[in-house]
Amino acid sequence: MISALIPVSEAVVDDDALHSIYAYPSMDRPYVRFNFISAADGAATTGGLSAGLGNDGDKRIFAVVRRLADVVLVGAGTVRAEGYEGPLVDEDAQSWRTGNGQEAHPAIALISGSLDLDPSGGFFANAPVRPLILTSRSAPADRRGALEAVADVVDCGEDTVDPSAVLTELGRRGLLKVLCEGGPSVLGAFQRSGAVDELCLSLSPLLAGGDGPRIAMGDGPGQPIPLRLASLLTEDSALYTLYRVRR
């Protein structure tokens, strides 16, 4: 049973309340929401994956924010680690989306510089919609050729993928409600570019230990981005924060 700490409420937070709390603002440009989970000691993984950190409440919120998104954006490292095969939303969510004017499935966009991705792998073979790969002009031509058979491949920078070019491409495709599910290198790149609007961060009541990454990493800290706490929910000692960038 999820309950709300901010806004202060006695009421149990049902799915309608979650839809309202996590609704995207009306924007005429791509709005970038990151969704992460970390352990109480800052670890973003346990045993190399994030899956061991979430409880039922986190899974519900994870499903709701996917349901609301036009596009799920994710880095190649996360796809290699976590698979991302098959539909990203269940049948109930697909019906909800079509009833609310969205495509049944969110688009899936993958950031990769190396294009070290298997075109015959399950990510592409089982994708319900043709994936979009966002890469750079310096990516190996042979890998690009093979991937173009199974995905749209778009250059968003010379040597690395530039977050602002990514958002230009997503906006051109009408994909304004952006849900970025990481991982840490992608959040680091977007933080350094200032291309972040929101962070949904679940805090797991766990001392995970180990050498897992934090939720943002990469070269240089960039300009720190101040955040404002817009919502704080809790269930079973886990905290679910929703931070918005202070403009």
Ligand X SMILES: NC(=O)c1ccc[n+]([C@@H]2O[C@H](COP(=O)([O-])OP(=O)(O)OC[C@H]3O[C@@H](n4cnc5c(N)ncnc54)[C@H](OP(=O)(O)O)[C@@H]3O)[C@@H](O)[C@H]2O)c1
Stretch that binds ligand X, among 6-14, 23-31, 146-154, 175-183 (CB under 6 A): 175-183
Stretch that binds ligand X, among 74-82, 94-102, 118-126, 167-175 (CB under 6 A): 74-82
**Does residue 189 interact with ligand X by CB under 6 A?**
yes
From the list 139, 178, 190, the residue with the least C-alpha distance to 27 is 178
Quick check: bond before 7 cis, omega within 30?
A: yes
Residues 89-148 that bind ligand X (CB under 6 A): 111-114, 116
Q: Could you tell me which residues are beta bridge partners of residue 109?
A: 73, 132
* CB 60 to ligand X: min, Å: 15
**Does residue 75 interact with ligand X by CB under 6 A?**
yes
Binding letters toward ligand X, positions 17-56, x by CB under 6 A: -------------------xxx-----xx--xxx------
Using alpha carbons, list the distances in angstroms from residue 106 to 48, 115, 130.
Answer: 26, 22, 11
Pick one of 81, 129, 227, 245: the residue that binds ligand X (CB under 6 A): 81
Residues 213-242 that bind ligand X (CB under 6 A): 213, 215
Pick one of 94, 185, 191, 231: the residue that binds ligand X (CB under 6 A): 185
Stretch that binds ligand X, among 16-24, 25-33, 118-126, 179-187 (CB under 6 A): 179-187
**Does residue 161 interact with ligand X by CB under 6 A?**
yes
80 within 8 A of 74, measured Cβ to Cβ: no
Stretch that binds ligand X, among 72-80, 86-94, 141-149, 233-241 (CB under 6 A): 72-80
70 contact partners, CB below 8 Å, separation of at least 6: 102, 103, 106, 107, 174, 175, 176, 177, 178
2/187 with CB nearer ligand X: 187
Pick one of 52, 77, 128, 222: the residue that binds ligand X (CB under 6 A): 77
Binding region for ligand X (CB under 6 A): 36-38, 44-45, 48-50, 74-78, 81-82, 111-114, 116, 160-161, 181-186, 189, 213, 215
